[in-house]
């Protein structure tokens, strides 16, 4: 089972806890968590940080198939994290974005905020 430590090795931070950034603290808290066990928020954060996308985007797709508006802090958070990826990252993961587009094309209506709806429109245009 993959985890950040298995992918990157030991990246423990030697700084005292009070000197670590919130990102460093988060990373240390999830470095040994199997990717299948990441929370929605951890998955969102890892995707926004562009960490292990080849392994995490398929897991995001599973979660989005279960709940297209998956999010820990707000509805659509996972979709918005995916939408935040650069065009370079999108081109590297075309298969994922094609599958996501297919999923989004099947949605007729959503109860989502305007920002999330705009990102859905953006994601639908990512692939032909």
The answer on pLDDT for 75 being more than 70 is: yes
Tell me whether residue 44 is in a domain.
yes
Top mean pLDDT of 89-93, 118-122, 124-128 is at: 89-93
Task: Show the domain range for 55.
Answer: 38-124
Tell me whether residue 33 is in a domain.
no
Average pLDDT (9-29) is 80
3-class state of residue 92 by DSSP: helix
Query: Residue 12 — pLDDT band, cuts 50, 70, 90?
Result: low
pLDDT at 59: 97
pLDDT at 39: 97
What's the domain count of the chain? 1
Give the CA-trace dihedral at 35, 41, 45, 51, to 10 degrees: 10
Average pLDDT (20-26) is 87
What does pTM read for this prediction? 0.81
Tell me whether residue 49 is in a domain.
yes
Q: What is the pLDDT of residues 44-73, one digit of tens each?
A: 999 999 999 999 999 999 999 999 889 999
Tell me whether residue 94 is in a domain.
yes
The answer on pLDDT for 11 being more than 70 is: no
Tell me whether residue 103 is in a domain.
yes
Tell me whether residue 95 is in a domain.
yes
- Whole-angstrom CA distances from 82 to 18, 49, 52, 59 are 31, 11, 13, 12
pLDDT at 126: 66
The answer on pLDDT for 29 being more than 70 is: yes
List helix spans (H) across the chain: 4-8, 22-30, 40-48, 53-66, 77-83, 87-92, 94-105, 114-124
The answer on pLDDT for 114 being more than 80 is: no
Q: What is the mean pLDDT of the chain?
A: 87
Tell me whether residue 90 is in a domain.
yes
Tell me whether residue 79 is in a domain.
yes
């Amino acid at each position: 089972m993959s985890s950040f430590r298995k992918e990157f090795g030991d990246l423990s931070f030697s700084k005292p806890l009070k000197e670590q950034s919130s990102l460093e603290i988060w990373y240390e808290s999830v470095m040994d968590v199997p990717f299948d066990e990441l929370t929605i928020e951890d998955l969102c954060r890892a995707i926004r940080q562009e960490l292990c996308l080849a392994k995490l985007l398929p897991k995001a797709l599973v979660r989005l198939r279960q709940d297209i508006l998956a999010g820990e802090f707000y509805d659509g958070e996972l979709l918005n994290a995916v939408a935040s990826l650069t065009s370079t990252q999108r081109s590297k993961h075309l298969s994922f974005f094609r599958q996501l587009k297919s999923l989004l094309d099947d949605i007729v209506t959503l109860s989502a905020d305007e920002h999330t709806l705009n990102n859905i429109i953006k994601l639908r245009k990512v692939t032909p």
